[in-house]
Amino acid sequence: MKVINAYFVIEDEVNGERILKTLEKYGRTCYKSETKITVDSAKKLIANIMKNQHESVIEHEKVTVRVICDRGVTHEIVRHRIGSYSQESTRYCDYTKAGEILVIEPIFWKTDDPKYLIWKTTMEYLEARYNELIRLGATPQEARSVLPNSLKTEIVITFNLREWRHFFKLRCSKKAHPQMREVAVPLLAEFKKLIPVIFDDIIIEP
């Protein structure tokens, strides 16, 4: 068994300036003001669109992100209805072929905490039982019954920018699950750097 931390990979080559110019072009259709497009007019227009909550315009652009996390977190992610998902399948993946299962470290316990030790020994026990089931002829989709929520999984997520805003507002909140925030907070920080204006108003709570 190997314990790893959650992380993400932005799959698209995100060019924030290009995104704003594209959205400006589409947004100005509403006002028939295309003649007002200049080299630096996109940021101002998109800022006004966001201020006026005319967020349907930003649905025209999307970003795809690969998230490596535990299965409990993905159960929350896929509750976002407006999105496309491709996820590692425990029905078809035989984890004995890799020699070990990967589990996501619970960030809310230190490694010397008795609760962490209970978690770790439980993960090791479940890994052994999974391997035993496969050896006895169980299929991966049958043996997965003993796999834990902490099992590492990968999920590829595609949201339009409006849905990313909704995702960050919910999943970066201090009320969100700590392991959801482990992914969502740094991802929002990256979006803020990559795409001007659109995510500026979403505050990252400490």
Q: For the segment 28-55, what is each residue's pLDDT rounded down to a tens digit?
A: 999 999 999 999 999 999 999 999 999 9
Measured CA distances, 161 to 64, 128, 146 (Å): 10, 42, 37
Dist. CA 3–CA 77, nearest whole Å: 22
Judged against a pLDDT cut of 90, whether residue 6 lies above it is answered with yes
pLDDT tens digits for range 82-134: 999 999 999 999 999 999 999 999 999 999 999 999 999 999 999 999 999 99
> Quick check: is 135 catalytic?
no
Look up the pTM and report it: 0.94
- Residue 114's pLDDT is 98
Q: Specify the pLDDT at position 205.
A: 81
The type of residue at 81 is: R
Give the dihedral sign, CA 27/32/38/43. negative
**Confidence band for 206, pLDDT divided at 50, 70 and 90:** confident
* Averaged pLDDT, 4-32: 96
Is residue 18 scored above 90 in pLDDT? Answer: yes
pLDDT in tens, 157-174: 999 999 999 999 999 999
CA distance 136 to 158: 39
Residue 146, pLDDT score: 98
Alpha helix segments (H runs only) across the chain: 16-27, 42-51, 71-77, 114-135, 140-143, 161-171, 178-194
Query: Helix or strand or coil: residue 182?
Result: helix
Annotated active-site residue in 28, 162, 171, 181: 171
